[in-house]
Amino acid sequence: MKHRNPKFGCVRIAQQIAYAFSIEINKDVVRRVLAIHSRPKPDTDGPSWLTVIAQAKDSVWSVDLFRVESVVLRSHWVLLVMDIFPRRITGFGMPHMHRWPGGCRMFNAATTAQCKPKYLSTDHDPLFRFHRWLANPRVMEVEQLKSVPFAPVSHPFVDRPIGTIRREYLDRVFFWNAVDLARKLSEYKDYYNAHRVHRSLGGITPAQCAVESSAAPASLVCYTWCPSENN
């Protein structure tokens, strides 16, 4: 979060933490934490208050929408739900009807059979202001956290995986319809959580960070050369 006065930025972050979690924190503590763990370059945007919150809490989910095109050039909306603390993809949801009324169904489908978080981070998309969507977190007793308007840097945890999914998978793999897309996204979720290591996690997978079972690394102790059949 960029401010002309750095002291004002620390005060704002401390106020947001106090408002969201009822935890009183001194602005000097925030300043020392940011000085140690984040040193942005001059004249650039620094970390948002959501960054500090996400690193301090392990029950914050982030939600966002993105759109992809099938082989027949039909658009499909996908809802990505991500657990911020272990950088784990919780699930994907796709609507079977118009995306505004279907938003709650998308979220419930993406989080089936999983414990709900305490806090849910969303941006200012019209879907997340729809009255049915607003009623869903209230029923689940989940508090919503809003990103800073017109500031993408305040919602980076879910925007980054969306770009990764596009570059590494959807831009290289074709799909025909919603059923095919759901199957392939489920396969990618398993790969992303259990096999793909992350620099921000110190070279481990989200499953290991969340203390879940992860794929064992390949052993290179015993190996042999296998000549090809053409030789």
Query: What DSSP designation does 2 have?
Result: -
Strand partners, 63: 81
Task: Tell me the whole-structure pTM to 2 decimals.
Answer: 0.66
Supply the pLDDT for residue 86: 84
pLDDT band (50, 70, 90) for residue 195: confident
Query: What DSSP designation does 27 have?
Result: H
Domain segments of the chain as ranges:
6-47, 57-209
Closest CA to 101 of 133, 76, 140, 144: 133
Collapsing DSSP to helix, strand or coil, 66 comes out as strand
Instruction: Tell me which range, 64-73, 101-110, 134-143, is most confidently predicted by mean pLDDT.
Output: 64-73
For 100-120, give the DSSP string: TTTHHHHHHHHTTTS---SEE
CATH number listed for the domain at residues 57-209: 3.30.420.10
Supply the pLDDT for residue 144: 82
